[in-house]
Amino acid sequence: MKRILASILALACPGDADPQNTVLVEAEAFEDVGGWVIDQQFMDLMGSPYLLAHGIGIPVEDARTTVEFPRAGVYRVWVRTRDWVAPWNAPGAPGRLQLVVDGTALTTTFGTEGEAWHWQDGGEVRVGLSAEIALHDLTGFEGRCDAIVFCQDTGWTVPNGKDELALFRRKALGLADRPEVTLEYDLVVVGGGVAGTSAAVTAAREGLQVALVQDRPVLGGNSSSEVRVWPQGHVNQKPYPRIGDVVMDLVPERREDSRNAQNAEVFDDDRKLRVVRAEPNITLYLERRVNEAHAEGGRILSVTAQHVRTAVRTRIRGRWFLDSTGDGAVGFLVGADHDVTRTGHMGASNLWNIQCLCEDEDPLSSVLEEACELAAFPRCPWAVDLTDKPFPGRTKGAKSPETGGGDKPISLGNWFWESGFDRDPIEDMERIRDQNLRAMYGAWDAIKNVEKRYPAHKLNWVAYIAGKRESRRLLGDVILTAEDLRDGREFEDGCFPCTWGIDTHFPDPAYQGGHEGDEFIADYTRGEGYTYEGPYWAPYRCLYSRNIDNLFMAGRDISVTHEALGAVRVMKTTGAMGEIVGMAASLCKRFDCDPRAVYAEHLGELKTLMMRGAGRSAAEGASEE
Ligand SMILES: Cc1cc2nc3c(=O)[nH]c(=O)nc-3n(C[C@H](O)[C@H](O)[C@H](O)COP(=O)(O)OP(=O)(O)OC[C@H]3O[C@@H](n4cnc5c(N)ncnc54)[C@H](O)[C@@H]3O)c2cc1C
């Protein structure tokens, strides 16, 4: 395993710490993260990306780095971590880990104390001028480490308050007080799901200089191999058959197994990157999370993105901005009018699948051949206790397949494994993701150890990136309602085709008992009252903010009601929104105007672009930051 010098610096700490005797090591900055994964999803909440031991029951390989110390001697050590099942008072602290310094593990076991992110005291350690440190996962069950601090000043404790901690990090990492500043782009797209990527490609093909900012190393959002949702909806519909051309450039070739939660190749991350990189007008900012924005007089001037591994900040300037984060993150930062359904909204899912160890078998078969290897799985007393409770995929008490259940492997880990219906979809998100994981581990424990089924199967893949369905919706000049869809209300600026039913989710009553408040299986609205005649062309005025003049929206954070979101949220539809935004942004540039004026003064020109479409590939490559 490669040993690397991490970006570790001995610098000034706030409080009483002596600048010459304190070292901060950011876990995500370990150059060799071993089997750990970098999780940036909650960094706005708990202050930083962190390393997660997502081994689905098998301890992951150590993460390693070399630390240089300002002087040899004895240091007190803290590890920022938490017991991730503590919110449920669940026993066993499954996310246990050790810190190994020069080959010797500290006696403290980390990840065992309390639900909040905190600095767990690891006692003292003697080091020379440099030491190799390793994060050693003890369980394979989602242990987490944000950072490590070594300090010689025994009277000092590491700050944990949001602002203090941010200041401490900045100083300790030697980060500049001011971010790097870019030139001004025509369009800055924040969020590289299908919506944002389609917008970036369309705008670039229309000749705009575009920045595309995405907080993961891949594009596609829920349709990436990290989340594995297959894009649905219909595009290329009359009277605008070219709307959808860019979307279909991005969507992978359909195969027999093009369904949710299948293997990574189905979701073809490279394809999306290839399409974007073929556009010379796009500058792609991967692994950058926007967490600050500057606006004046109702206009955004720039957004600031933080690199997920290095913490370096870049201020990205632009004339027009697109919020395609799903969460309305940019709009929220600049005070855009928005709405959130606080309780009774759609939840989030962490899809998963299982695999048979018998190579000759259908991977989803439950038949055990004699030659098969047995796959043991430990009891999980800290998971949701499903010993005697029904869930989809279980022999007893499972619902019929058409309502999302069924006694089939495909029922395990599919879209209806969903939680967080009544929890804040931003503030409670780590808890929501973790509840999905607890439900999944509880189900697999019950199947393997109580029912004793699937003896030769293992958990094969589990998303640690949550697939989100609903959070903030930014408000535009029109707020599309389900009534509009049902009544077939025509808008003169109808521009993206909706074809999906009015499909919202709620806790499935068949599986609710005993889990009230923490339900993890969903049902969906369907049948009479939830259909409409499609394609329904939804209005352009849902795609820009009503109070931030240069802000577009595309994706699940557009201007719709909770119910209408059920129809517009599928990804070919969100991609079509992106195409429209790309075209509208080009008109903003051509006529030196803002999104609202495209409706008020240039709707004819927008329709001309919609007839023409943007489905052609450019010859040269994009630049990458
Ligand atoms: C389990 C599940 C099943 C579903 N089933 C289907 C289905 O079968 N077919 C279908 O078409 N749709 C389905 N949906 C709905 C669909 O996936 C979502 O509505 C869709 O992802 C919305 O697209 P989007 O581009 O708005 O958001 P996303 O796909 O969420 O993309 C947003 C991207 O922005 C990034 N981002 C967020 N914040 C920031 C920030 N501050 N800075 C930088 N980047 C940021 C995110 O990492 C993400 O990659 C399903 C959803 C789920 C969760």
What are the residue ranges in the chain where pLDDT is below 70?
A: 1-20, 359-372, 396-408, 616-625
Nearest CA to ligand 1 atom 15: 570
Query: Tell me, what's the pLDDT at 356?
Result: 85
Hey, which of 315, 325, 562 would you mutate to test ligand 1's pocket, going by the most ligand atoms within 8 Å of its Cβ? Answer: 325
Round to whole Å and give the CA distance between 319 and 301: 7
Side chain identity, residue 450:
V
Round to whole Å and give the CA distance between 11 and 201: 43
pLDDT, tens digit (0-9, with 9 covering 90-100), for 114-167: 999 999 999 999 999 999 999 999 999 999 999 999 999 878 889 999 899 999
Outline where 310-428 has alpha helix (H). 329-333
Measured in Å, residue 444 CA sits from the centre of ligand 1 at 26
pTM: 0.95
Residues sharing a CB contact under 8 Å with residue 275, sequence separation 6 or more, in sequence order: 197, 201, 249, 250, 617
Measured in Å, residue 365 CA sits from the centre of ligand 1 at 30
Side chain identity, residue 275:
V
Query: Tell me, what's the pLDDT at 410?
Result: 74
Query: Tell me, what's the pLDDT at 406?
Result: 58
Q: How many residues does the chain have?
A: 625
Helices and strands: H and E segment counts in the chain:
11, 31
Round to whole Å and give the CA distance between 319 and 624: 20
Strands (E), 96-140: 97-101, 104-105, 118-127, 130-137
Are the CB atoms for 571 and 233 separated by under 8 Å? yes
Measured in Å, residue 571 CA sits from the centre of ligand 1 at 8
Round to whole Å and give the CA distance between 72 and 66: 14
Enumerate the CATH 3.50.50.60 domain ranges in the chain, comma separated. Answer: 180-343+469-499+534-624
Query: Tell me, what's the pLDDT at 359?
Result: 62
Enumerate the CATH 2.60.120.260 domain ranges in the chain, comma separated. Answer: 9-172
Whole-angstrom CA distances from 621 to 206, 246, 316 are 15, 17, 21
Round to whole Å and give the CA distance between 355 and 274: 30
Pocket-forming residues, ligand 1, beta carbon under 6 Å: 190-196, 213-216, 221-222, 229-233, 260, 289-290, 324-327, 329, 349, 351, 415, 467-469, 555-556, 569-571, 574
pLDDT, tens digit (0-9, with 9 covering 90-100), for 152-195: 987 888 999 989 999 999 999 899 989 999 999 999 999 999 99
Query: Tell me, what's the pLDDT at 625?
Result: 66
Side chain identity, residue 103:
G
Measured in Å, residue 324 CA sits from the centre of ligand 1 at 9
Name the helix (H) or strand (E) containing 540: none
Nearest CA to ligand 1 atom 16: 570
The encoded tokens of residue 31 equal: 């150059």
Give the count of beta carbons closer than 10 Å to the beta carbon of residue 296: 8
Measured in Å, residue 326 CA sits from the centre of ligand 1 at 6
Query: Tell me, what's the pLDDT at 153?
Result: 87
Hey, which of 229, 421, 503, 565 would you mutate to test ligand 1's pocket, going by the most ligand atoms within 8 Å of its Cβ? Answer: 229
Measured in Å, residue 557 CA sits from the centre of ligand 1 at 10
Three-class HEC string of 425-472: CCCCHHHHHHHHHHHHHHHHHHHHHHHCCCCCEEEEEECCCCEECCCC
The encoded tokens of residue 231 equal: 């894009």
Round to whole Å and give the CA distance between 196 and 288: 14
CATH entry 3.40.50.720 includes domain 9-172 = no
- Report the half-sphere exposure of 405 (CA within 13 A, side-chain side): 19
**Closest by Cα among 275, 289, 292, 290 to 220:** 275
Are the CB atoms for 431 and 443 separated by under 8 Å? no
Beta-sheet pairing, 467-468 with 352-356: unpaired
Ligand 1 nearest-atom number relative to CA 467? 53
Round to whole Å and give the CA distance between 12 and 104: 28
The encoded tokens of residue 123 equal: 């006692």
Are the CB atoms for 65 and 32 separated by under 8 Å? yes
Query: Tell me, what's the pLDDT at 18?
Result: 58
What is the second-level CATH architecture of the domain 180-343+469-499+534-624? 3-Layer(bba) Sandwich (3.50)
**Closest by Cα among 172, 557, 54, 563 to 344:** 563
Round to whole Å and give the CA distance between 474 and 326: 10
Only one residue has tokens 């919110």, namely 87
Hey, which of 189, 201, 222 would you mutate to test ligand 1's pocket, going by the most ligand atoms within 8 Å of its Cβ? Answer: 222
The encoded tokens of residue 371 equal: 């030659």
Measured in Å, residue 247 CA sits from the centre of ligand 1 at 14
pLDDT, tens digit (0-9, with 9 covering 90-100), for 65-96: 999 999 999 999 999 999 999 999 999 999 99
**Closest by Cα among 312, 369, 298, 394 to 595:** 298
**Closest by Cα among 338, 49, 350 to 215:** 49
Measured in Å, residue 338 CA sits from the centre of ligand 1 at 18
